[in-house]
Chains A and B, each alone.
Chain A
Amino acid sequence: MPLTYFFDSIPLLYPEIVISALIAIIVLADLITSKVEKVLPYISLIGLAVAFYFVTDNYNANAMAFLNDTGKGMVAVDSFGSFFKMIILISSFLVILFTILSKELHDSMDRIGEYYTLIFGMILGMFFMVSSTNLILLYLSIELVSLSSYVLAGFIKTSTRSAEASLKYLIFGAASTGIMLFGISIVYGLTGSVNLYEISYLFQVTAGNKFLLNLSMILMFAGIGYKISSVPFHFWTPDVYEGAPTTITAYLSVASKAAGFALLIRLIKTGFSVETSTLGAWVVLPSFYWQDFLVLLSILTMTLGNFAALWQSNIKRMLAYSSIAHAGYLLAALAVLSDQGLIAILIYFAIYMLMNLGAFLVVIIIRNKINSEELSDYDGLGYSMPLMGVSLGVFLISLTGLPPTAGFIGKLYIFLALLDAKMIVLSVIMVLNSVVSLYYYVRVLKHMFLNKPKEEVAHIKFPLAENIYASVLAVAVIFFGIYFAPVINWAKNSLSLFGF
């Protein structure tokens, strides 16, 4: 490849370069300074802001980096990818803020440099996940994210649960991505290419071996399904979410899931859809039954997630199953295979980020005080910590999808997409699922407000920062529920994938 192609790509990759540089800076800072836990968060936050600036700079670039001779490259820089990069950066920003106040990580402060290094490793991997159009790069980016997150899940060495989570995660992840790699190899065998655009072209012109193609897609989905915790690749989720430090759980549930979805969307739209019709529907190649496949997975995922969540007594585990259910809702929107569905997914992610991170934030803050995540220990907390109780209430109501919270807008747009495509059965299953979900979300409120505390506790005071974070997120969730135009506009501007 000529050197100019390489240099031409550099401006498009500024965000990735900034993140890579930060990894180096953090490692160095970790070696140099002694007060590492004071310095690193601020370096990270500033670095994220810089990366965010470059992402917005490239927002409308609609270009490809590392072009080959046919004009198709390895990395797409388009508004769709930038949207997800922004989601990843914002959630990283919030998670780092949460990290500062999490007491759970206090014992591991001497190793906190590793923590930040690995977070940025994940960010780098996720950036490539959302923008890669090359199957090999795509696989490598998943592995980069996974390897970093295995370590992060087991970051608290003293906790056996954390270690167990890490090991389970590793075994599941290794198996799933291994299967995915096998799928990729079949695709390469069929088409002789690892570039999504070339693969798409070859699928269009040649019929190919349909059995092998279907097999390869199912195998590839193993890796993606594990990242978005879709049934039947969800088994790791509850254990890892429960065992990992809560900051990491929050991060996995939002950023890593967003990256997985972005990858799946890009795979389907770039690899399998020929064009977008004037009405927004994707014209998808008949070689793989994406719609049936996604509808089936979506129904299984949301139903299993919601019903399993009903029995949980640990709030992190419950939120883990709830995040599986939300993956199901998102898969339902994707199953529409249209830009209506896509805009619904983008809106949902923007909102899901706020409400899910908010819920985990309150879990972290409460854990700092009562050192527990069991629902039975939440009894009467609404009275001793009213602000946290109300904030958690707002987040959970939003996760249920009731107005006037933002979660309602997210669900509304999914239903709009589904009904516009006349997918009535799926939408009915989804609304019934949200009724089921109400039960377990409200159960938390029941513990906090309806149950009496075991012993009389005085009013618990929180540091100012914690109060501010929780209330800002809660107000944002309500604000975007009432005035949602900014979210819709952001999503609608981010619909374009390179080449469409």
Chain B
Amino acid sequence: MQQVPFLSLITFLPLFGMIIILLLPKSNEKAIKSVSIIITGIQVVLAGMIWSMYNYSLGGINNQATYQFVEKFRWIEIATVSWLGTIKVDYFMGIDGLSAPLLFLTALISFIAAISSWKIDHSLKGYHAMYLLLVTGMVGVFVSLDLFLFYIFWELMLLPMYFLIGIWGGPRKEYAAIKFFIYTLFGSVFLLLVMIGLYLSATETLANGTKVFTFNMIALMDPQNYTQTGILSPLNPNNLRFVAYIAMFVGFAIKIPMFPFHTWLPDAHVEAPTAISVILAGVLLKMGTYGILRLNFPIFPEITQQLVWWIALFGAINIIYGALCAMAQKDFKKLIAYSSVSHMGFVMLGMASLNTAGISGAVFQMFNHGTITAMLFLIVGVIYDRAHTRGLDDFGGLAVQMPIYTGFVSFAFFAAIGLPGLSGFISEAFVFLGAFSNVQIRVITVVSTLGILLGAGYMLWTLQRVYLGKLNEKWNKLPDLDFREYAMLVPLAVIILILGVYPSFMLDLMNSSVNTMVTFMAKSQTFFSSIQF
């Protein structure tokens, strides 16, 4: 289609940046920081170019021809002895309306977090090398269409994240880092088993007519491709597909993080440096919900249908439980971390609706949560850099001392609560609209609206405790925002505002894919009910 391999460029550019950083002398700190910012800056430009060339009318999901910016070539192909068949792995990348918003989000958040990393003060070289490796992993996950490639990128993120939390984190960094690592690996090994099970169950027809096992996600979505005897074949009357669905779901749920697998998140967030918290909340959490939408839903449509009630239920638990936990926190960062748990619940609720409004809302909520939570973590970072404490009760009346900063804070808080006119409102409204119109989960939806109320509760209470009231004299020397902080907060605020006023920028981007997904899910339902065992 097009000549320039945009997706490979945007994925491997950070890796290239990492090599540059490794070659720079350790003493040249400015250069190291600049490389990281420039590389992620170029990524934003590339993302913008991709957006400008993106064709809004193509759906993607289960139709390979309607994916865009596709790059596909044979990576490994070994013709082997008969019983093993040909082993093949493709280098297969492409985006559709599901991954495009997340790709742009990743580019944006990576850039902002790179600016935010300016304050890192020791072992800069290692930090930025690891940071760029992490960015490669994140972008790769969103653009891969081959399960094998997807898994490699998925796991590639773990190690940099471990070091970024473990070396540059707070007092309990080692505990938080290993907890994160073990939790996520625990999830992803089950993902690996399901991936192999799927590989052994589905075949793809090559150009020369031979059928080979495949890791191709799109081929796996077509029930016709499964062999009669395959371990995870829908034609094979066993309940392994159900087990596999759950295993894969848990793998992703740990990343979301879904209750009861969320306990790593507050620890990781509290200990991680600001930039890494931003990445963690802004991008990493989205991988869980993205994985469910990209893999669980279209590969196992019949089981998704059976389980939507449960997905919605866990979504609602996340919303309410997260909000209640947030309310009880004394640590600013922990509060924001739990608010993430709550907000990701909306994504799950929206997905479970299985209709256009709900899924659009879910994907849009992923994007908005990315920008809003990034802003919230940056806000915590601003104050922590100055005061070296995050206790909610240690402050008071900061609005007097730092008026502009407090302006941004109120903006972000209201966006998080879902004030009309800001982007969070639109996505939450869509989620509720979609979820309410699905009769199956209507009751759950009604209950989870309580989450909005609780959200307003903890956010406004925080605003009151930290920013309003009488100024704590201890902090009467704190300066207001500096240039670097403006550079991080302003773009996010602008995006939140624009998408709040004119959400079609984002909704149009995902619309045709979401429609394709919804029709596909409904159609496969009829297909699966027609199979007679």
> Which residues of A approach B to under 8 Å, CB–CB?
278-280, 339-340, 343, 383, 397, 402-404, 408, 412, 415-416, 419-420, 422, 424, 427-428, 431-432, 434-435, 438-439, 442, 445-446, 449-450, 483-485, 488-489, 492, 495
| Residue B392 CB within 8 A of the other chain | no
- Residues in B with CB closer than 8 Å to A446 are 166, 174, 178
**Closest B residue to A382 using CB positions:** B126
Query: Counting CB contacts under 8 A, is B173 at the interface?
Result: yes
Among A404, A428, A449, contact of B163 (Cβ-Cβ < 8 Å): A449
Give complex CA distance A427, B244 in Å.
Answer: 13
B162, A495: Cβ atoms under 8 Å? no
Binds A, one of B77-85, B282-290, B519-527: B77-85
- Of A279, A408, A412, A435, which is within 8 A of B83 by CB? A279
Residue numbers in B under 8 Å from A435 (CB-CB): 182, 185-186, 189
Interface of B is mostly: helix
Q: Could you tell me the distance between the alpha carbons of A415 and B155 in the complex, rounded to whole angstroms?
A: 17
**Residue among B81, B166, B197 making CB contact with A495, cutoff 8 Å:** B81
With A419-B193, A431-B193, A442-B162 as known contacts, state yes or no: A489 contacts B181, CB within 8 Å: no
* Interface presence of B46 (CB below 8 A): no
The closest CB in chain A to the CB of B75 belongs to A483
Closest CB in chain A relative to B251 CB, distance in Å: 11
Residues of B within 8 A of A439 (CB): 178, 182
B387 in contact (CB, < 8 A): no
Least Cβ–Cβ distance between B439 and chain A, in angstroms: 36
B433 interfacial by beta-carbon distance below 8 Å = no
Please state if B162 and A280 are interface contacts (CB–CB under 8 Å): no
User: In this complex, what residue of B is CB-closest to A488?
Assistant: B78
Residues of B within 8 A of A495 (CB): 81
Q: Is there an interface contact between A404 and B182, defined as CB atoms closer than 8 Å? A: no
For B75, B81, B199, which residue has the most chain A Cβ atoms within 10 angstroms? B81
> Quick check: B83 and A403 within 8 Å, CB to CB?
no
> Which of B75, B156, B186, B196 contacts A404 (CB under 8 A)?
B156
Instruction: Establish whether residues B166 and A488, one from each chain, have CB atoms under 8 Å apart when the complex forms.
Output: no
B76 touches A484 (CB 8 A): yes
Sorting the interface of chain B by its residue count into under 10, 10 to 19, 20 to 34 or 35 or more gives 35 or more
CB nearest neighbor in A for B247 = A428
Contact B83 A280 (CB under 8 A): yes
Q: Are A403 and B189 in contact (CB under 8 A)?
A: no
- For the complex, give the distance between the alpha carbons of A276 and B258 in Å: 47
Alpha-carbon distance between A450 and B173 when the two chains are bound, in angstroms: 9
Complex Cα distance A445/B177, Å?
12
Say which residue of A279, A431, A450, A492 sits within 8 Å of B189 (CB atoms): A431
Q: Check B185–A278 contact: CB distance below 8 A.
A: no
CB of B476 within 8 Å of the partner chain: no
On whether A402 and B155 interact (CB within 8 A), knowing A449-B163, A449-B166, the answer reads yes
Listed by A's residue number, 22 A-B pairs whose Cβ atoms lie within 8 Å are A280-B83, A339-B83, A343-B84, A408-B152, A408-B155, A412-B192, A415-B192, A415-B196, A419-B197, A427-B193, A428-B193, A431-B190, A434-B185, A434-B189, A435-B189, A438-B181, A439-B182, A442-B181, A445-B163, A446-B166, A483-B76, A492-B78
Q: In residues 170-205 of chain B, which contact A (Cβ within 8 Å)? A: 173-174, 177-178, 181-182, 185-186, 189-190, 192-193, 196-197, 199-200
Cβ contacts B489-506/A at 8 Å (1 or 0 each): 000000000000000000
Question: How far is B171's CA from A450's CA once the two chains are assembled, in angstroms?
Answer: 12
User: Is B167 touching A280 in the complex (CB atoms < 8 A)?
Assistant: no
CB-CB under 8 A from B78, the residues of chain A are 485, 488-489, 492
The distance from the CB of B179 to the nearest CB of chain A, in whole angstroms, is 11
Closest Cβ neighbor of B163 among chain A residues: A449
Do A422 and B185 contact each other (CB < 8 Å), given the known contacts A280-B81, A450-B166? Answer: no
Q: Let me know if B103 is at the binding interface, CB within 8 A.
A: no
A403 in contact with B193 given A442-B178, A446-B166, A492-B78 (CB within 8 Å): no
A416 to B198, CA, bound (A): 11
Question: Complex Cα distance A293/B209, Å?
Answer: 42
What's the count of A-B pairs with C-beta under 8 Å?
Answer: 96
Q: How far is the CA of A484 from the CA of B81 in the complex (A)?
A: 17
Chain B 116-168 residues near chain A, CB threshold 8 A = 123, 151-152, 155-156, 158-159, 162-163, 166-167
B95 lies within 8 A of chain A by Cβ: no
Query: In the complex, are the beta carbons of A492 and B83 less than 8 A apart?
Result: no
Contacts of B240 in A (CB 8 A): 424
A432 contacts which of B75, B152, B167, B189 (Cβ < 8 Å)? B189
B196 near A340: Cβ-Cβ < 8 Å: no
Look across to chain A and name the residue whose beta carbon is closest to the beta carbon of B87.
A488
Least CB distance, B368 to chain A, in whole angstroms: 32
Chain A hits for B163, CB < 8 A: 445, 449-450
Whether B83 contacts A340 by the Cβ 8 Å rule is: yes
Task: Chain B residues near A450: list those with CB within 8 A.
Answer: 163, 166-167, 173-174, 177
Q: Which residues of B contact A445 (CB under 8 A)?
A: 162-163
Q: Which residues from chain B contact A422 at a C-beta distance below 8 Å?
A: 231
Q: Are B189 and A404 in contact (CB under 8 A)?
A: no
Q: Which chain B residues border A280 with CB–CB below 8 Å? A: 81, 83-84
A contact residues around B189 at 8 Å (CB): 431-432, 434-435
Question: Which chain B residue lies CB-closest to A403?
Answer: B152
Nearest CB of A to B24, in Å: 14
Within 8 A of A (CB), among B2-45: none
Are B190 and A449 in touch, CB under 8 angstroms?
Answer: no
A495 to B84, CA, bound (A): 12
Instruction: Name the residue on A nearest B198 (C-beta).
Output: A419
Which residue of B is nearest A397, CB measured?
B159
B174 and A278 within 8 A (CB): no
What are the residues of chain B within 8 A of A484 when measuring CB–CB?
Answer: 76
Given contacts A412-B192, A492-B80, A492-B84, 8 further A-B contacts (CB under 8 A): A278-B83, A339-B83, A404-B152, A416-B200, A431-B193, A450-B173, A485-B77, A492-B81
Chain B: minimal CB distance from A438 (Å) = 5
What separation, in Å, do the CA atoms of A422 and B181 have in the docked complex? 29
Chain B hits for A383, CB < 8 A: 123
Cα distance A424–B87 in the bound complex, in angstroms: 22
* A161, B173: Cα distance in complex, Å: 37
Distance of A495 Cα from B78 Cα, bound (Å) = 15
Q: Are A419 and B185 in contact (CB under 8 A)?
A: no
By a CB distance below 8 angstroms, the chain B residues around A340 are: 83-84
Nearest 4 interchain pairs by C-beta: A280-B83, A431-B189, A403-B152, A450-B166
Q: How close is B373's CB to chain A, nearest CB, in angstroms?
A: 27
B449 to chain A, nearest CB (A): 38
Q: Which residues on the A side are within 8 Å of B174 (C-beta)?
A: 446, 450
Shortest CB-to-CB span from A478 to chain B, Å, is 11
Distance, CA A488 to CA B87, complexed state (A):
10
C-alpha gap A340/B76 in the complex (Å): 18
Neighbouring A residues of B152 by C-beta, 8 Å:
403-404, 408
Bound complex: CA A340 to CA B84 (Å): 7
In the bound assembly, the distance between CA atoms of A152 and B504 in angstroms comes to: 74
Q: Shortest CB–CB separation between residue A76 and chain B, in angstroms?
A: 20
Q: Determine how close the nearest CB of chain A comes to the CB of B473; give it in whole angstroms.
A: 36
| Cα of A492 to Cα of B87 in the assembled complex, Å | 12
Q: Contact partner of A438 among B77, B81, B87, B185, CB < 8 A? A: B185
In this complex, the member of B155, B178, B185, B199 whose beta carbon has the largest number of chain A beta carbons within 10 angstroms is B185
Q: Are B186 and A402 in contact (CB under 8 A)?
A: no
Chain A proximity of B254: nearest CB distance (Å): 12
Give, as a whole number of angstroms, the nearest-CB distance from B321 to chain A: 26
Q: Is the CB of B151 within 8 A of A403?
A: yes
CB distance from B129 to the nearest CB of A (A): 10
Give Cα A278–Cα B85 distance, bound, in whole angstroms: 12
Using CB atoms, name the residue of chain B closest to A412. B196
Q: Contacts of A403 on B, CB cut-off 8 Å?
A: 151-152, 155-156
